[in-house]
Amino acid sequence: MRNVFLRNDIVAAQATPPGVSAIAAVRVSGKDCMNVVLPFFFQKKISGSQPLSLASLKPRRIYHGFWKNTEGHWVDEVQVVFYRAPFSFTGEDMAEIFTHGGFLPVQMVLNTLFENGARPAEPGEFSFRAFVNKKIDLIGAQTINALIHTASPSVEEILARQLHDQNEQPVFWIRERLLELLASLEVAFDYPEEHYAEQPGRIVAAGEEIARFFYAFIEKIEIAERLNQGLKVVICGRPNVGKSTLMNVLLGEDRAIVSEIPGTTRDYLSEPFLFHGLYIRLFDTAGLRQTRDTIEKIGIRKTMELIDRADLIIYLLDLEDRAEEEEPGMIENIRRKRKIILINKCDKYPETRLTDLEEGVKRKIEALTEPGAGQDPVFNISALNQTGLSTVKETMKDILYQASRIEEGTMWVPTFQIDLLKRAHAILTGGLERFRETGMFEILGQDLREIVEIFDGITGRSFDEDILQTIFSKFCVGK
């Protein structure tokens, strides 16, 4: 970053994905970048085309014309928009050149720029310049990058709202309340004789109000990040119960290998898809059973780890299931999770056998049910024949909608910043507890200053160059 990002030069890059398309965009930014663009752009006129002078240039206007390369050969018909600092995305002089899509037109325009004073932009360099020039803060920059990459419609809505209300996010409200509390502490410490005896009580009450709001805020951003990663729906059950078949049916494609041989799936399979407007990650897992097979044990352990993190369990059993097949610890973990129980392969057995096996199924369902939590939904299906699944999908939708409910004030931040916010909340609650015990203003003040520093790092008011390098290097080249 010290060698590249902080250089005050002209950079250029393609701002649209490579490949064949109707239109492609090239972005150029840096002081006096118009002088690199204008010699090669010729505005279209009735009588032909002519150069566009710097003096006649009007910012934020689309100019239609043609591009020539350094040798004077025509390259493409283009449109160009110019921006004057600070009224651009980066806060610098900037130009955007729109060519026909495809590899050659874009590359030839870029080659002309590189041969005449511009250099290739690094990943995220345009956003970094916008950050340095105070066009966006660090949260705003990461919001833009997340908006580009998210596959969740719910999170897209959150991110769009963040961009619209950049200065009204809860993270800024918490920081301002912390600064107000810190100011009260410093006044109370400097002039103790002028404050009422109940001043410590008021400080604790104010701190607890911030801590409660802070905790609720962390819960909301964890929901947003979970939605961004995809709600985890884990299909599990003993071997050969139809898990892979069900996964293929839900996805609408043959993603998982289906075999009559028990234990075909040794490791889990994961596939993302949109389900009623929700971004889902669906998992097919290794069959749960007692085994001495070392590889199978590893697959089962991974399954149990997925179950612990799941938003919804789809537990498959059939009419031959017995409660004692899985180890007790497996059932205990599943019992605590939100789940749908599906009795699969009901079409496989004659009616006379259904009655014979009914008690075994009941015992299995009882083993899977958390005492006092109420009965989980149970459905009879045939994954192979795709019967009985419409009600299952509606129930899945209702449960997942409830798990993904977005409350007012929900915002998104990256996972590593969630960890920082949790650390800040722990410092706040710990500091308030120590203040109750000691009444020492200066110690709580130190804690509050540390928390404000964490918030300043998150918003970019203060920053470490290595951290910024890591953050912006994950952005697109043209962003």
CB 270 within 8 A of CB 309: no
The 10s digit of each residue's pLDDT in 153-190 is 889 989 998 888 876 788 899 999 999 998 888 776 66
The structure tokens listed for 293 are 């097979």
Q: What long-range pairs does 80-86 form, CB within 8 A, spacing at least 24?
A: 80/37, 80/41, 82/34, 82/37, 82/57, 82/58, 83/59, 84/59, 85/31, 86/133, 86/135
Which of residues 140 and 374 earns the better pLDDT score?
A: 140
pLDDT tens digits, 287-315:
777 666 767 777 778 888 888 999 999 99
Domains 147-225+413-460 and 230-403 share a fold: no
What mean pLDDT comes out for the span 201-206? Answer: 88
> Token pair of 346, please?
């009901």
Burial 10-28 (b: 16+ CB within 10 A, else e): bbbbbbbeeeeeeebbbbb
CATH of domain 11-137: 3.30.1360.120
What pLDDT does residue 472 have? 81
Looking at residues 184-201, what average pLDDT do you find?
Answer: 65
* pLDDT of 6 strictly over 70: no
CB 16 within 8 A of CB 478: yes
Q: How far is CA 333 from CA 176, 240, 265, 329, 395, in A?
A: 42, 21, 21, 6, 22
Tell me the average pLDDT across 321-327.
61
DSSP 240-274: TSSHHHHHHHHHTS--S---SSTT---S-EEEEEE
Rounded Cα–Cα distance for residues 79 and 44 (Å): 10
In the chain the first and final C-alpha atoms are separated, in Å, by: 16
Where exactly are the structural domains of the chain? 11-137, 147-225+413-460, 230-403
Q: Residue 325: what pLDDT?
A: 63
What architecture (CATH level 2) is domain 147-225+413-460?
A: Up-down Bundle (1.20)
Confidence band (pLDDT; 50, 70, 90) for 65? Answer: very high
Residue 380 confidence (pLDDT) above 50? yes
Residue 404 phi/psi, 5-degree rounding, is -110, 15
> How do residues 332-378 score in pLDDT, each as one tens digit?
888 888 999 998 888 776 665 656 666 777 777 888 888 777 788 99
CATH 3.40.50.300 fits 230-403, yes or no: yes
- Within 10 Å of residue 422's Cβ, how many Cβ atoms? 14
> Alpha carbon 4 to chain centroid distance?
28
Residue with tokens 């939904």: 377
Phi, psi of 219 (to 5 degrees): -60, -40
